[in-house]
Amino acid sequence: MRLGKSLALTGTLALLACGLGTTPASAAAQAAASCPSGYVCMWEDPYYGGDLYVQQYAINGHHEIDGWNGDNEISSVINNTGKCVVLYANDAWSGRTHPIQKSGAQRLRPDLRLNGYDNEAESYGIFNSGC
Ligand SMILES: [Ca+2]
Ligand SMILES: [Ca+2]
Ligand SMILES: [Ca+2]
Protein backbone atom coordinates (compact mmCIF):
# COMPACT_ATOMS: atom_id res chain seq x y z
CA MET A 1 0.00 0.00 0.00
CA ARG A 2 2.67 2.44 1.07
CA LEU A 3 4.93 1.55 -1.91
CA GLY A 4 2.09 1.95 -4.45
CA LYS A 5 1.29 5.42 -3.19
CA SER A 6 4.94 6.44 -3.39
CA LEU A 7 5.27 5.25 -7.01
CA ALA A 8 2.15 7.17 -8.03
CA LEU A 9 3.55 10.35 -6.51
CA THR A 10 6.87 9.90 -8.32
CA GLY A 11 5.02 9.57 -11.63
CA THR A 12 3.08 12.79 -11.00
CA LEU A 13 6.25 14.72 -10.21
CA ALA A 14 7.92 13.45 -13.40
CA LEU A 15 4.96 14.67 -15.48
CA LEU A 16 5.11 18.10 -13.82
CA ALA A 17 8.83 18.39 -14.52
CA CYS A 18 8.24 17.55 -18.21
CA GLY A 19 5.55 20.21 -18.49
CA LEU A 20 7.79 22.91 -17.05
CA GLY A 21 10.56 22.19 -19.55
CA THR A 22 8.40 22.60 -22.64
CA THR A 23 6.64 25.92 -21.94
CA PRO A 24 7.20 28.21 -24.95
CA ALA A 25 7.80 31.84 -24.05
CA SER A 26 9.92 34.74 -25.18
CA ALA A 27 12.96 35.59 -23.09
CA ALA A 28 11.29 38.79 -21.92
CA ALA A 29 8.13 37.00 -20.89
CA GLN A 30 10.16 34.40 -19.03
CA ALA A 31 12.07 37.13 -17.24
CA ALA A 32 8.89 38.94 -16.24
CA ALA A 33 7.43 35.68 -14.99
CA SER A 34 10.59 34.91 -13.06
CA CYS A 35 10.30 38.16 -11.07
CA PRO A 36 7.16 37.73 -8.98
CA SER A 37 4.91 40.57 -7.93
CA GLY A 38 6.28 42.18 -4.78
CA TYR A 39 9.93 41.42 -5.59
CA VAL A 40 12.94 43.20 -7.03
CA CYS A 41 15.09 41.04 -9.33
CA MET A 42 18.59 41.70 -10.65
CA TRP A 43 20.45 39.80 -13.38
CA GLU A 44 24.04 39.32 -14.42
CA ASP A 45 23.43 40.24 -18.08
CA PRO A 46 21.33 42.81 -19.98
CA TYR A 47 17.74 41.90 -20.90
CA TYR A 48 17.28 39.77 -17.80
CA GLY A 49 19.83 37.17 -18.83
CA GLY A 50 22.58 35.20 -17.13
CA ASP A 51 22.37 34.43 -13.45
CA LEU A 52 19.55 35.85 -11.33
CA TYR A 53 21.67 37.24 -8.50
CA VAL A 54 18.97 39.06 -6.52
CA GLN A 55 15.34 38.15 -5.92
CA GLN A 56 14.28 40.07 -2.85
CA TYR A 57 10.82 40.67 -1.41
CA ALA A 58 9.83 44.29 -0.78
CA ILE A 59 11.17 44.61 2.76
CA ASN A 60 11.97 48.27 3.45
CA GLY A 61 15.54 49.16 4.28
CA HIS A 62 19.03 48.36 3.13
CA HIS A 63 20.11 45.11 1.50
CA GLU A 64 23.50 43.78 0.42
CA ILE A 65 24.28 42.23 -2.95
CA ASP A 66 26.43 39.13 -2.44
CA GLY A 67 30.14 39.78 -2.89
CA TRP A 68 30.70 36.60 -4.92
CA ASN A 69 27.38 36.48 -6.71
CA GLY A 70 26.38 39.93 -7.82
CA ASP A 71 28.74 42.73 -6.74
CA ASN A 72 29.79 44.76 -9.81
CA GLU A 73 27.93 42.40 -12.13
CA ILE A 74 24.31 43.60 -12.20
CA SER A 75 23.27 44.58 -15.75
CA SER A 76 19.44 44.49 -15.66
CA VAL A 77 16.75 44.98 -13.02
CA ILE A 78 12.99 44.57 -12.67
CA ASN A 79 11.38 46.43 -9.77
CA ASN A 80 8.07 44.74 -8.95
CA THR A 81 8.09 45.90 -5.32
CA GLY A 82 5.71 48.82 -5.83
CA LYS A 83 8.33 50.84 -3.91
CA CYS A 84 11.45 52.81 -4.79
CA VAL A 85 14.63 50.79 -5.25
CA VAL A 86 17.95 52.62 -4.99
CA LEU A 87 21.14 50.96 -6.21
CA TYR A 88 24.46 51.90 -4.59
CA ALA A 89 27.81 51.62 -6.39
CA ASN A 90 29.61 50.37 -3.25
CA ASP A 91 28.98 48.01 -0.35
CA ALA A 92 27.13 49.22 2.74
CA TRP A 93 24.93 51.71 0.86
CA SER A 94 27.61 54.14 -0.16
CA GLY A 95 28.89 55.53 -3.44
CA ARG A 96 27.01 56.73 -6.47
CA THR A 97 23.28 55.98 -6.38
CA HIS A 98 20.87 54.95 -9.12
CA PRO A 99 17.15 55.20 -8.22
CA ILE A 100 14.61 52.93 -9.91
CA GLN A 101 11.01 54.11 -10.01
CA LYS A 102 8.13 52.24 -8.39
CA SER A 103 5.73 52.05 -11.37
CA GLY A 104 5.41 52.19 -15.15
CA ALA A 105 8.13 51.42 -17.68
CA GLN A 106 10.62 53.34 -15.52
CA ARG A 107 10.63 50.50 -12.99
CA LEU A 108 12.41 48.39 -15.64
CA ARG A 109 16.15 48.55 -16.36
CA PRO A 110 16.61 46.15 -19.28
CA ASP A 111 20.15 47.36 -19.95
CA LEU A 112 22.04 49.36 -17.32
CA ARG A 113 24.72 50.19 -19.93
CA LEU A 114 22.18 52.72 -21.24
CA ASN A 115 22.04 54.30 -17.77
CA GLY A 116 25.81 54.47 -17.29
CA TYR A 117 25.42 52.07 -14.38
CA ASP A 118 26.43 48.68 -15.79
CA ASN A 119 28.30 46.33 -13.41
CA GLU A 120 28.28 48.99 -10.69
CA ALA A 121 25.78 48.03 -7.97
CA GLU A 122 27.07 46.38 -4.79
CA SER A 123 24.15 47.10 -2.45
CA TYR A 124 20.62 48.50 -2.64
CA GLY A 125 17.74 49.88 -0.64
CA ILE A 126 13.95 49.56 -0.79
CA PHE A 127 12.03 52.65 0.31
CA ASN A 128 8.49 54.02 0.21
CA SER A 129 9.75 57.28 -1.33
CA GLY A 130 12.86 58.78 -2.88
CA CYS A 131 12.52 57.93 -6.56
CA1 LIG B 1 27.81 43.78 -1.81
CA1 LIG C 1 26.97 42.20 -15.95
CA1 LIG D 1 30.74 49.12 -7.66
Query: 105 C-alpha to center of ligand 2: Å?
Result: 21
d(CA 51, ligand 1 centre) in Å: 16
Averaged pLDDT for residues 18-23: 44
Domain definitions of the chain by residue range: 2-127
Q: What is the pLDDT of residue 36?
A: 95
Q: Are 102 and 74 in contact (CB under 8 A)?
A: no
* Residue 104 Cα to ligand 2 middle (Å): 24
- Rounded to two decimals, what is the model's pTM? 0.77
Question: Does domain 2-127 sit in CATH 1.10.150.20?
Answer: no
Residue 20: partners with Cβ closer than 8 Å, 6 or more residues away: none
pLDDT category at 87 given cuts 50, 70, 90 is very high
| Higher local confidence (pLDDT), 70 or 20 | 70
CA distances 60 to 19, 116, 128, Å, are: 36, 26, 7
Mean pLDDT value across the chain: 85
